[in-house]
Amino acid sequence: MFNKFSAIFVLFSICWSYSAGNNYDHYGYDLSTTTERMNSATRCVNVHPQNSVDLKQIMGLWYGSEIIIHSQDIPGVYEYDSCVIIHLTDVTQQVLNSNSYNNNNNNNHGYHRNQNNYGRVSTTPYAHLDRDDYQQQQQLQRQRTKYLRLVWSERDNNLEYTFNYTTDAPGVWSNIGDQRGSLVTLNSYTQFTGTVQVVKAVNDHLVLTFCGNDVKSSIYTVVLTRNRLGLSEDELRSIHSLLNRRGLYVETIRKVCNAAASSTVGGGIFPLSLLLLLLLLLQLLWCRRQ
């Protein structure tokens, strides 16, 4: 009898660990094994982001529908009991006010970094210009460059990114500075350095592909919607087809937010089903031995 309950306990522990571990072993929280499983050929590919993006329209609150992992991972569709909420805010004026581009104190050529770690601005491309032309070019560059903040919230944790982009290419956001937030304190978190490409931006949903520059970073797509109930299956299939046409594999899909409605244990249907199946098999084997 003791051996029977010991076996059941071990099986339950394995399934529970699989489910609980997967909740944070995705899209940037734990990338310790990403180097071994990722396909470097898909790292930071050009997914042909949307050329025309109304940034004002996409600001505000978005709910996660799917997280699609494009690097090599275990294929399948996984349900999570957590909800990813992303908030986009234009912080252009805030950034400009915080550093004033150091024009008053930094007219020399080279690089300078502002006090809020928003990144650095290169002045070397205009080294051949005289002072007036240089200031004019700098002014034009400032007018073209915009900044936005992306806050990723999940459960009681959050992560804050700062990106810049140009009005010439509003569909490509470059990460500047380090991320902040409670998720940064996790031992497994690796700072993201790379770009976000806006694959699709319409009224009710937004598709963003995160692509890290570091070999330890994975490439993944976040499917967002204004509606907390998520997108329809037809809309999701259309997005999957779009990603496939852009050269991104859609084999590992992690559903969020809408998964909270499913009465599952540990964040996934598969772990619970596996546990019940194993317990049933164990019970049959035990009965045969009697």
pLDDT confidence of residue 190? 82
Q: What is the pLDDT of residues 187-196, one digit of tens each?
A: 778 888 899 9
Q: Burial letters for 1-30: b for 16+ Cβ neighbours within 10 Å, e otherwise?
A: eeeeeeebeebeeebeeebeebbbebbbbb
Q: What is the pLDDT of residues 84-104, one digit of tens each?
A: 999 999 999 999 888 665 555
Return the bridge partners of 120, or none: 113
Question: Mean of the pLDDT values across residues 113-126?
Answer: 43
Question: Mean of the pLDDT values across residues 68-81?
Answer: 85
- As a whole number of angstroms, the distance between CA 151 and CA 161 comes to 6
Q: Residue 235 is which amino acid?
A: E
pLDDT confidence of residue 81? 86
pLDDT confidence of residue 277? 62
* 217 or 14, greater pLDDT: 217
pLDDT confidence of residue 9? 46
Return the bridge partners of 174, or none: 164, 195
Task: Find out whether 271 and 265 touch, Cβ atoms under 8 Å.
Answer: yes
* 48 or 109, greater pLDDT: 48
Question: Mean of the pLDDT values across residues 203-229?
Answer: 88
* 67 or 155, greater pLDDT: 67
Of 256, 253, 206, 237, the C-alpha closest to 70 is 253
* 244 pLDDT higher than 60: yes
- Mean per-residue pLDDT over the chain, rounded: 74
Q: What is the pLDDT of residues 7-49, one digit of tens each?
A: 444 444 444 344 434 444 444 444 333 333 444 445 577 899 9
pTM for the model stands at: 0.69
pLDDT confidence of residue 35? 38
* 185 or 131, greater pLDDT: 185
* 191 or 113, greater pLDDT: 191
Distance of CA 192 to the CA centre of its chain: 9
